[in-house]
Amino acid sequence: MNGHIPILSVNGVYKRFSGPYSLLRRFKSEPQLAVHALTNVTLDVERGETLGIVGESGCGKSTLARCLVRLHEADEGVVRFDGQDISNLSGGARRAFNRRVQMIFQDPYGSLNPRMTVSQVLSEALSVHKMRPKPEIPGRIAELLDLVRLPADAAGRYPHEFSGGQRQRIGIARALAVEPEVIVADELVSALDVSVQAQVVNLLLQLQEKLHLTVVFVAHDLRLVRHISHRVAVMYLGQVMEISPSEALFSAPRHPYSKALLEAAPELDPAHKNRNVALRGELPSPLDLPPGCPFAGRCPHVFDRCRVERPVLTPRGPGQMAACHLTDFGAPGASSDQLPTGH
């Protein structure tokens, strides 16, 4: 086959978790409820790009991130790395995958062992994957610290001696130690002060260009996502509603949910203050997904078909895909306020 192979591809992935099992349900012998964290997610991550993943809390961003690095196994569907189904990898191939795809976690406080110095943290990462012969390890540690712009004397210090932003740099250095091709960053800077967030995100942006990394950047903050991402996937209730080049998404979203999400983010448009108008209504429970479009209960453009037929991602403008029955929503020349016929 002579084709283009995305570095990561997600195809029809479902992930369910066991939900609460109330006494009443047990008493009535009803089955335990399932949380539908991912429902039929399909997307590609291209080599060298930064793909942003956004959406409200609980929409499945972290679950998707964890499926990409095989911290979760998909219940259905396939995740491929470099064309290979990652659930089939074993032995050396699995170790190679674990090295080539690195996850950086949200919590810079919890993910570093407080009893290990930075030097020990980094040399452990270098030794696990036999990245360097022993005598070269100190030199490589100095290089890694320089790469993430930490002072050389950071090597002998413990995590608690650093600020949150510096700890996140240590986390990045640890991920880079094994020379990965893909970094999956889940809320990399959410726990940091706003003033520090931009510095860490800019560092990631520079490293991505310098080292030709592929980055999957999961975040709440749309401003940061816009700044760093080439493309953005918008998730809602375990599904991808839209995936578009960043500028296209922010200037002309092709899905009513993307539009509502952008309007609910006042930082993107200070003139816009109607954050409660844009995202009105209740978020349906992932325990009880509606049969049609998951956004139907909140969508200002809902019509009959939306309640019975689940829309799937289909192409829109250049590089844009959206899962909505209104195929010309947001298209140039089309009025997004127009209701479909038969409403």
Ligand X SMILES: Nc1ncnc2c1ncn2[C@@H]1O[C@H](COP(=O)(O)OP(=O)(O)OP(=O)(O)O)[C@@H](O)[C@H]1O
Residues that bind ligand X (CB under 6 A): 17, 35, 37, 55, 57-63, 220, 286
Report helix, strand or coil for 283. coil
Give the Cα separation of 104 and 172 in Å (integer).
Answer: 7
Would you say 40 and 28 are in contact if contact means Cβ atoms under 8 Å apart? Answer: no
Shortest Cβ 61–Mg ion spacing (Å) = 5
Which residues, in sequence order, are bridge partners of residue 35?
A: 17
Of these partners, ligand SF4, Mg ion, ligand X, none, which one is at the site of residue 302 (CB under 5 to 8 Å by kind)? Answer: ligand SF4
Shortest Cβ 305–ligand SF4 spacing (Å) = 7
Of these partners, Mg ion, ligand X, ligand SF4, none, which one is at the site of residue 158 (CB under 5 to 8 Å by kind)? Answer: none
Of these partners, Mg ion, ligand SF4, ligand X, none, which one is at the site of residue 231 (CB under 5 to 8 Å by kind)? Answer: none
Taking CB under 6 A as the rule, does residue 243 contact ligand SF4? no
Of these partners, ligand X, ligand SF4, Mg ion, none, which one is at the site of residue 326 (CB under 5 to 8 Å by kind)? Answer: ligand SF4
Cα-based distances in Å from 19 to 36, 37, 56, 287, 289: 9, 10, 19, 7, 13
Taking CB under 6 A as the rule, does residue 295 contact ligand SF4? yes
Please list the helix, strand and coil fractions of the chain in percent, rounded to the nearest 5, in that order.
35, 20, 45
Would you say 309 and 296 are in contact if contact means Cβ atoms under 8 Å apart? Answer: no
Out of 301, 313, 316, 320, point to the residue binding ligand SF4 (CB under 6 A): 301
Taking the least distance from each CB to ligand SF4, the nearer of 71 and 308 is 308
In order, the DSSP letters of 120-182 are HHHHHHHHHTT-S-GGGHHHHHHHHHHHTT--GGGGGS-GGGS-HHHHHHHHHHHHHHT--SE
**Residues 302-341 contacting ligand SF4, CB under 6 A:** 302, 306, 311, 324-326
Of these partners, Mg ion, ligand SF4, ligand X, none, which one is at the site of residue 90 (CB under 5 to 8 Å by kind)? Answer: none
Taking CB under 5 A as the rule, does residue 62 contact Mg ion? yes
Out of 293, 313, 321, 330, point to the residue binding ligand SF4 (CB under 6 A): 293
Give the Cα separation of 64 and 237 in Å (integer).
Answer: 12
Chain positions contacting ligand SF4, by CB under 6 A:
256-257, 293, 295-296, 299, 301-302, 306, 311, 324-326
